[in-house]
């Protein structure tokens, strides 16, 4: 799916909006969250626009796998490799930008259940 010119994550992926990019492949970009909830809080997004994780899984399973692998690589390179990877799907559970993104959270103890 092509980029959406009205989507801030598409614009970050294209380099039109500044962000602190920590990893990039041809199809995935990882950048620091502007409102970090942990010492390491990075968003991992596909360059192409997909609304949420289930939409990405249906459209391009290898891209979803690359997104997850990039999150793991970021956690290993910037932290100790222990991390939580969160995908919110829907406004009712906290998705505020409707471009699939995984939150890589690490660097502090995390309780269960979250939320």
- The confidence score (pLDDT) of residue 84 equals 97
Residue 1 makes CB contacts below 8 A (sequence gap 6+) with 48, 49, 50, 59
Q: Tell me which residue of 108, 64, 103 sits closest to 85, measured CA to CA.
A: 103
Residue 114, pLDDT score:
83
Q: Is the dihedral of CA 24, 100, 57, 71 positive or negative?
A: positive
Q: What is the mean pLDDT of each run of 10 residues along the chain (115 residues)?
A: 88 96 97 97 98 97 98 97 97 96 97 86
Residue 65, pLDDT score:
98
Which is catalytic among the residues 49, 50, 99, 101? Answer: 101
CATH architecture of 8-106: 2-Layer Sandwich (3.30)
Residue ranges of domains in the chain: 8-106
101 tagged catalytic: yes
Q: Is the pTM of this model over 0.75?
A: yes
Amino acid 12: pLDDT: 97
């Amino acid at each position: 799916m092509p980029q959406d010119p009205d989507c801030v994550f598409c614009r970050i992926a294209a380099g039109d909006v500044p962000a602190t990019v920590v990893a990039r492949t041809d199809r995935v970009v990882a950048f620091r969250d502007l409102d970090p909830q942990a010492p390491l809080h990075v968003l991992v997004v596909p360059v192409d626009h997909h609304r949420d994780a289930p939409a990405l899984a249906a459209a391009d399973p290898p891209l979803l796998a690359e997104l997850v692998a990039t999150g793991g690589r970021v956690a290993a390179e910037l932290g100790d490799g222990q991390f939580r990877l969160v995908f919110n799907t829907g406004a009712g559970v906290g998705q505020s930008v409707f471009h699939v993104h995984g939150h890589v959270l690490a660097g502090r103890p995390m309780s269960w259940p979250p939320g």
